Each structure stands twice: as structure tokens, then as C-alpha cells.
Amino acid sequence: MITFTICNPDGTIITVGRREELPGDIEIEMNTPEGGFMIDLTGQEPFDTMDILDIHNGYKADAKKKKLVKIKE
């Protein structure tokens, strides 16, 4: 199972998806804002088993490193 996020340029997560394969280039382009990016989280613990709402609500992306970081409460 593949887990991915689509993010705004500032690192806020727009969507988290989990499916059998990554979306195609056209689908990614249509759903990613200008300057935004996608991160493939597949194989990265704990994201493989984490509920997608927990990823969406508890993390944001580091736009330079293209990885997720936990939001400080």
C-alpha cells in the first residue's frame, strides 16, 4: 500500500492518500497547487500504519527537505 501527501508550497498538507499505486503525473499536477509538491511516504515508519487523518492533522512538510515533521502542540 502506498501512502502519499500533497502539500502547499509552505508545507501545509492539502491531502493524504493511501492506495495501491501512486497517482499518475496528470492527477498529481491537477491536485497540486503551483509551487506545491508531493511526498511519497511509502516504507517510512510510522506513516505506513498511521491513520491518514492523524498524518493530516499532526504533521506538516518541510518544503526544503520534502519530508514530514510533527506539528508542535
Residue 40: strand pairing partners:
4
pLDDT at 8: 96
The arithmetic mean of pLDDT across residues 24-49, rounded, is: 93
DSSP, collapsed to helix, strand or coil, labels residue 18 as strand
Q: What integer best gives the mean pLDDT of the chain?
A: 93
Q: If you average pLDDT over residues 39-52, what whole number do you get? A: 93
Confidence at 72, pLDDT banded by 50, 70, 90: confident
Mean pLDDT of 9-35: 94
What's the whole-model pTM score? 0.89
Q: From residue 63, give the alpha-carbon distance in Å to each of 2, 13, 54.
A: 21, 11, 20
Q: What is the mean pLDDT of residues 31-52?
A: 93
Give me the numbers of helices (H) and strands (E) for the chain, helices first please. Answer: 2, 5
